[in-house]
Structure 1
Amino acid sequence: MVYVTRGLVDVLLGLAEDAEPKPLDVTLSTTPAKEFDTDLGVDGETPILTHFDLPEAGWPVSAVFGMDIGTPAGQGRARFISHPQGRLEVSERDHMAAVMVVAVPPWDEQSYAAFDRAGRRVDLVVLDAEPPQESLA
């Protein structure tokens, strides 16, 4: 089972719609359930998809050395991928991750789903919860 916040889903679907007809591929980050101010009804160590990393972050180094420095260490086990002209499934062209959230037009509640690395659909639970506030020290 994969958990994601409503806010993240809304932002990602909006970005996918804005990027159309180009596909969107972004790395997703998690926050442990215990860090939320609200009881989510899941184990405290359960990862909740809450954030995304901009695809352009670290691009120059990635292009030269093939390393992804735009993704913080320990994050990036999930990806959001849009298929503007595709089907709601994982394709051979997608960057694989442990969890992939795939979306297709019309970018609404019925147009996205989660899949594992093998392309099998997994349960995706959308939580109406705000992740904890973060600040830079």
Structure 2
Amino acid sequence: MLLGRAADTEPSSVNLVLDTTTAGEFDAGLELAPSTPILSHVYFPTAGGAVNDVFGVDLGTPAGRGRARFLSHPQGPAELTRRDDLAGVVLLAVPPWEELLAFDRRGRPLDLTVVDADPPTESLPE
């Protein structure tokens, strides 16, 4: 989904907030430690955009969430730059939009494993 969004948005860049669910919360029998964070949620910048534009308050991301980001660099480079919004973990894509690169906030490469699993179903309390 992230790579497709980057391709569809080109030549503009993409900057999305990502959040995690721990492996132990998934129903699938993942061969990971239960505390392993899995990027499972995407918060789009248009949610709460009017309030953010006027007051600088991001209502599109729940408080305390979103410690990762997805960025695209349509013109390159395949590394973080000083102009990027950083987070604890940053996923980056560059054309031809075939792979995700992972970095820490200092631009050091991280290992990334793609997990084919559906996140747990969530609902709002009544």
Same fold (TM over 0.5): yes
Deviation for aligned residue 1:133: 2.1
Of residues 113, 117, 123 in structure 2, which corresponds to 1:125? 113
Unaligned 5+ segments in structure 1 are 1-10
Structure 1 CA distance for aligned equivalents of residues 116 and 93 of structure 2: 19
In structure 1, the residue matched to 2:30 is: 40
Does 2:72 correspond to 1:86?
A: no
Query: More strand per residue: 1 or 2?
Result: 1
Partner of 2:113, secondary structure, is strand
Q: Which structure 2 segments of 5+ residues have no match?
A: none
- How many residue pairs match? The answer is 125
Indicate the SS of the match to 2:7.
Answer: helix
Of the three residues 13, 17, 23, the one matched with 2:7 is 17
Q: TM-score, normalised by structure 2?
A: 0.92
Q: CA deviation at 1:112?
A: 2.0
Q: Please give the residue correspondences for 1:58-137 in structure 2 after superposition, counting only pairs within 5 Å.
A: 58-108=48-98, 111-137=99-125
SS at match of 2:54: helix
**Contact 1:88/1:112 (<8 A) preserved:** no
CA distance in 2, matches of 1:74, 1:34: 20
One-letter code aligned to 1:28: L
